[in-house]
Homo-oligomer: A and B are copies of this chain.
Amino acid sequence: MAPLTGDFSYGEWNAVYNALSFGIAAMGSATVFFWLQLGNVSKNYRTALTITGIVTWIATYHYFRIFNSWVEAFEVNEVGGAYAVKVSGTPFNDAYRYVDWLLTVPLLLIELILVMKLPAGETAALSTKLGVASAVMVALGYPGEIQENLAVRWFWWALAMIPFAYVVFSLLVGLGAATAKQPESVAGLVSAARYLTAVSWLTYPFVYIIKNVGLAGPTATMYEQIGYSVADVMAKAVFGVLIWAIANEKSRLEGEGKLLR
């Protein structure tokens, strides 16, 4: 929440600028892919695929906002044959990422649960538990993110890690049993989706720590913005492609009568 400080080199500023534009392109194109594929999967998986696209659609909106906020927060001019970057005084709004996560993280857990097609009661119970835990996780992270005080940052980080650990543990262990019940040609994909979630999610607490350990200024901000952008593309767009692959394979098996509708 404190103003950006320090002198960003043009290279640092430009790296974030391009990472954010990459975020818009990746999220936007993933959205179109998921929605155009709706007619190609059976009815059972259309809700999962719709939500997969909604997650990347919400992210597209927020990457546009973050990109514009980044541009407005700086003035870039040529000075003596090189580009000089100065903060403009307009705030760079950090909170877009948290608002995005508050909406998308519960949804992307729900898309994973839906594509597994568990019994209805189990689907509702898992969606509620993991959805609520992940929303609490995001909400607990924000007060630390906007803090300069390192001890306070660590405090909120540690609190947010409790629901984080619960969700990742549930994905790896709890859903493991359910995965075993998936058809053979699908089990591998579901497993991949579970591990991709766990690994891409683990990126976030480490990116958060960049500023906890006292790194500050332009370089820390650059690594933070690029780190979150790459993690988001993995956790939403690439993860979504796995969800689509699962839906697609299960629809094929249904069509061949090898899977109960």
Contacts and interface: CB of A to CB of B under 8 A. Distances in A.
A81 interface: yes
B58 A47 contact: no
A54 B38 contact: no
Interface residues of A, number: 53
Contacts of A39: 46
A50 B24 CA distance: 19
B21 A65 contact: yes
A25 B58 contact: yes
A29 B87 CA distance: 33
Given A1-B10, A54-B32, A96-B21, A76 B91 contact: yes
B38 A38 contact: no
A51 B36 CA distance: 10
A128 interface: no
B38 A36 contact: yes
Interface string A99-143: 110110000000000000000000000000000000000000000
7 contacts: A2-B81, A14-B95, A22-B102, A29-B57, A29-B58, A35-B36, A76-B90
Interface of A: 1-3, 5, 10-11, 14, 17-18, 21-22, 24-26, 28-29, 32-33, 35-40, 43, 46-47, 50-51, 53-54, 57-58, 61-62, 65, 76-78, 81-83, 87, 89-91, 93, 95-96, 99-100, 102-103
Given A18-B96, A35-B36, A78-B87, 17 more contacts: A1-B11, A3-B78, A5-B81, A14-B91, A18-B95, A22-B99, A24-B61, A26-B103, A28-B58, A32-B53, A33-B50, A33-B51, A36-B50, A36-B53, A39-B46, A76-B90, A77-B89
